């Protein structure tokens, strides 16, 4: 052991943090080989490949304090080049491109708390809105979500679509494209489900909260991929620029404990008083397939139900890697017809203006729209109250996949959302009683083997639109 070294936690997505006790450098100048058995191969390899090729590696560094964050230049002085890609304020973290020697200096610093790889992330209504009783909210309660702002952090938005006329507020690009225009189609479809007016279909394909304002943060490129740091920047911008509700229809495959960089940012946003709605993932029907950021403790994690009002086979199941119950609720996510961005072909094209798609990506904006209706009914509700009401008013769709007499919470959470009942309780401000007893939390099973990196069924190295 080498004396005088700090203890730095290196975070490997999907696993527990690893403490490096007094790590020294090997003969090649690397800090990794002495404890290589404590690192997953892709973490070690990413740094060592960069070292051998004299290339930069991209990381996200969390500091113990803002003072440590400001000292980033001093930390790497003389050790190699360093470039700041993103700086965050909600958590004391910075996204960096830097050489392996500079990263060595970071691992030695007492200012550094955690280091994550800044990995590549990918993207994963005519029936569904009546199914959750949204039209009754519009008609009986005179509530369409007006005055509430939902931000879709995704591939952008086609703001010229007739269903968004007069509905789109602030937009921003974090993908490097230069605008928030959606050349993929996923973000437009998601936004339409949450708050589209259905104008191009004569109201047939209307979203859950058609009176809400839509913000769009384009964090992923038109090919549906981008850096985690860009997603985090889009989330932070949204929270700081007026979004009441943030929708994140992307995630990672595998079983996460919710301690990764993106989950940390999501929890910080909830602490600001914002409502975070996150997709559970499309890795069902296996258990323990809730990835990041669906495993984040404070977000509302959404699985998908199908046309038969049962849990969709593809919807990811809990528990989380640390044994918590997820998803929280489910919502319609099979064969959802919503807005089509001009020139794109996500899902199965219906016509010039609409396309059909399935996934927990499609379920998530149903819940974002419902949260907008609830906030419209009662602006005094906080994120925890909204989450509790959503869960307690959900409908048990009685999925007995594992032989239980009641619905398995690790499959459907508290059930499929019910907009009318949830908004009625929101209006009164009273919390409904829990309608199902809690299930014992099992020990998480051994994680399933990850497929090779590079396919759309990638392991935790990749987040994707889901």
Give catalytic residues, as residue numbers. 154, 186, 361
| Residue 135, beta-bridge partner list | none
Between CA 129 and CA 146 the distance in angstroms is 17
C-alpha distances (whole Å) from 316 to each of 365, 410, 458 are 17, 9, 15
The Cα 392–Cα 418 span in angstroms is: 10
Whether 104 and 24 have beta carbons less than 8 Å apart is answered as: no
276 Cβ contact list (under 8 Å, min separation 6): 245, 246, 248, 266, 269, 270, 296, 298, 299, 300, 383
Cα–Cα distance for residue pair 107/115, rounded to 1 Å:
8
Q: Is the peptide bond before 82 cis (omega within 30 degrees of 0)?
A: no
Lookup: tokens for 76: 């790497």
**Element (DSSP H or E) covering residue 232:** helix 228-240
Beta carbons of 416 and 132 less than 8 angstroms apart? yes
What CA–CA distance (Å, rounded) separates 316 from 111?
37
Angle CA 332–13–184, to nearest 5: 45
Distance of CA 322 to the CA centre of its chain: 18
DSSP per-residue codes, 29-78: S-SSGGGGGGS-HHHHHHHHHHHHTT-EEEEEEEESSHHHHHTHHHHTTT
The beta strands (E) that lie in 64-203 are given as 82-87, 93-99, 112-117, 120-122, 149-154, 168-173
Place of tokens 């007094």: 22
């Amino acid at each position: 052991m080498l004396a005088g070294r700090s203890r730095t936690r290196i975070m490997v997505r999907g696993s527990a943090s690893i403490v490096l006790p007094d790590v020294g450098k090997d003969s090649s100048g690397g800090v990794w080989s002495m404890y290589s058995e404590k690192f997953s191969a892709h973490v070690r390899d990413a740094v060592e490949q960069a070292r051998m090729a004299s290339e930069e590696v991209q990381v996200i560094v969390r500091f113990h304090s803002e003072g440590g964050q400001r000292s980033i230049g001093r930390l790497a002085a003389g050790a190699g080049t360093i470039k700041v890609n993103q700086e965050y304020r909600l958590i004391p973290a910075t996204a960096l491109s830097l050489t392996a020697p500079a990263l060595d200096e970071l691992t030695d610093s007492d200012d550094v708390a955690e280091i994550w790889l800044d990995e590549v992330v990918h993207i994963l209504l005519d029936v569904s809105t009546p199914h959750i009783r949204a039209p009754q909210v519009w008609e009986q309660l005179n509530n369409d979500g007006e005055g509430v702002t939902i931000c879709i952090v995704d591939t952008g938005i086609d703001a010229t679509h007739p269903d968004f006329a007069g509905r789109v507020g602030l937009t921003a690009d974090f993908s490097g494209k230069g605008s928030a225009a959606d050349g993929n189609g996923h973000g437009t479809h998601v936004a339409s489900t949450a708050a589209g007016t259905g104008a191009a279909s004569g109201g047939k394909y209307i979203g859950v909260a058609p009176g809400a304002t839509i913000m769009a943060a384009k964090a992923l490129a038109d090919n549906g991929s981008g850096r985690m740091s860009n997603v985090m920047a889009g989330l932070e911008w949204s929270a700081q620029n007026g979004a009441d509700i943030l929708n994140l229809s992307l995630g990672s495959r595998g079983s996460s404990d919710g301690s990764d960089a993106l989950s940390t940012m999501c929890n910080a946003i909830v602490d600001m008083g914002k409502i975070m709605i996150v997709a559970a993932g499309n890795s069902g029907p296996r258990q323990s397939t809730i990835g990041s950021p669906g495993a984040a403790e404070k977000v509302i994690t959404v699985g998908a139900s199908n046309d038969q009002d049962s849990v969709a086979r593809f919807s990811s199941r809990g528990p989380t890697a640390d044994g918590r119950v997820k998803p929280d609720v489910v919502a319609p996510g099979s064969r959802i017809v919503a807005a089509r961005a001009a020139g794109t072909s996500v899902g199965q094209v219906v016509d010039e203006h609409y396309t059909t798609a399935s996934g927990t990506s499609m379920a998530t904006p149903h819940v974002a729209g419902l949260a907008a209706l609830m906030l419209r009914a009662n602006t005094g509700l906080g994120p925890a109250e909204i989450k509790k009401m959503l869960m307690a008013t959900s409908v048990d769709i009685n999925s007995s996949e594992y032989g239980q007499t009641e619905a398995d919470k690790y499959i459907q959470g508290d059930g499929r959302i019910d907009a009318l009942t949830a908004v009625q309780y929101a209006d009164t401000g009273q919390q409904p009683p829990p309608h199902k007893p809690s299930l014992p939390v099992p020990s998480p099973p051994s994680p399933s083997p990850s497929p090779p990196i590079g396919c759309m069924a990638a392991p935790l190295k990749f987040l994707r639109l889901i």
